[in-house]
Amino acid sequence: MKILRLITSFRGKDSQSFQLGNFIIEKLKSQDATAEILIRNLAKDETPHLSDVHINSFITPVKDLSDELQKAVQYCNNAIDELVKSDVVVMDVPMYNFGIPSSLKAWIDQITRAGITFRYTENGPVGLVKNKKVYLAIASGGIYSEGPMKEYDHTEKYLEQVLGFIGISDITTFRVEGVAIPDIKERAMPKAVQAVEEAFAS
Ligand SMILES: Cc1cc2nc3c(=O)[nH]c(=O)nc-3n(C[C@H](O)[C@H](O)[C@H](O)COP(=O)(O)O)c2cc1C
């Protein structure tokens, strides 16, 4: 099993999404001790935000790439290669302003590429990334899995939609939520860990 781990919180070991992601990784390793893990820390190693040079590099035939375009397309090609070669992806997702970190959005913008990870057909768009299992480890100060704030959550649904668009539909979400709410925050991680335990036991 090849696992791609995306770390996206800038809080290092204190990060709740990182800790939850670690727990998911431990469970995966207990299923397959030989699992290979490739870690990409998007919070630390800057992901290029899309610019016209990237778009030009995506649409220019390989043989016509200038040095500048060749350089621009490298991150994208590498990120797609890492995704395609993985069997499982674990994404740490700290909620920022109801959405995903901009670094993760930048990564998604790099890997969502017409003709490579999806293509348009006469019957509409078709995802080209197959046979992946994705685990989302979402951390949030408030509670979004239920209750009045549920509709403010633009992490899980967005990731399901955009990953679904490129062909990845096997997605399981775990949440460590309410980490900013007194009385709830103490139970947030144990509850999340229990949910992972139960999912892997079944
Ligand atoms: C810039 C920023 C924006 C945040 N926005 C939200 C938010 O919209 N809703 C929420 O419930 N928590 C919000 N939080 C709280 C984080 O989701 C929470 O601290 C979470 O644990 C962060 O993940 P991490 O521990 O993996 O870094 C925000 C935190 C930061 C730093």
Q: Taking CA 181 as the corner, what is the angle to CA 175 and CA 182, rounded to the nearest 5 degrees?
A: 130
Q: Quick one: average pLDDT of 121-139?
A: 97
In the reported structure, the alpha carbon of residue 131 is separated from the centroid of ligand 1 by a whole-number distance in angstroms of 31
Q: Specify the pLDDT at position 193.
A: 98
Residue with CA nearest ligand 1 atom 4: 96
| 141 pocket-lining for ligand 1 (C-beta < 6 Å) | yes
Alpha carbons 127 and 12: distance in angstroms, whole number: 33
Whether the predicted pLDDT of 46 surpasses 90:
no
- Domains in the chain (CATH in brackets) are 2-201 (3.40.50.360)
* pLDDT score of 3: 98
> Per the structure block, which two tokens stand in for 67?
């040095």
167 lines ligand 1 (CB under 6 A): no
pLDDT tier for residue 202 given thresholds of 50, 70 and 90: confident
- Ligand 1 centroid vs 63 CA: distance in angstroms? 44
Q: What is the pLDDT of residue 113?
A: 96
- pLDDT beyond 90 at 126: yes
What digits encode the pLDDT tens for the residues 134-189?
999 999 999 999 999 999 999 999 999 999 999 999 999 999 999 999 999 999 99
Q: Which residues touch 43 (CB under 8 Å, ≥6 apart)?
A: 7, 8, 9, 10, 101, 103
**Ligand 1 centroid vs 94 CA: distance in angstroms?**
6
Residue nearest ligand 1's atom 29 by CA: 96
Phi-psi region of 115 (alpha: psi -120 to 50; beta: other; left: phi over 0): left
**Spatial contact of 113 and 50, defined as CB atoms under 8 Å apart:** no
pTM of the model: 0.97
Contact between residue 98 and residue 154 where contact means Cβ atoms under 8 Å apart: yes
91 lines ligand 1 (CB under 6 A): no
Residue-averaged pLDDT of the chain: 97
Q: Identify which of 22, 90, 92, 96 to mutate to test ligand 1's pocket (most ligand atoms within 8 A of the CB).
A: 96
Inform me whether the pLDDT recorded for 7 exceeds 90.
yes
CA separation for the pair 133, 27 (Å, rounded): 14
Q: Is the CB of 158 under 6 A from ligand 1?
A: no
Whether 94 is in the pocket of ligand 1, judged by its Cβ within 6 Å, is: yes
Of 140, 144, 146, 149, best ligand 1 pocket probe by most atoms within 8 Å of the beta carbon: 140
Is the CB of 9 within 6 Å of ligand 1? yes
Work out the percent of the chain whose per-residue pLDDT is above 90.
Answer: 99
User: Minimal CA–CA distance to 54: which of 76, 81, 82, 80?
Assistant: 76
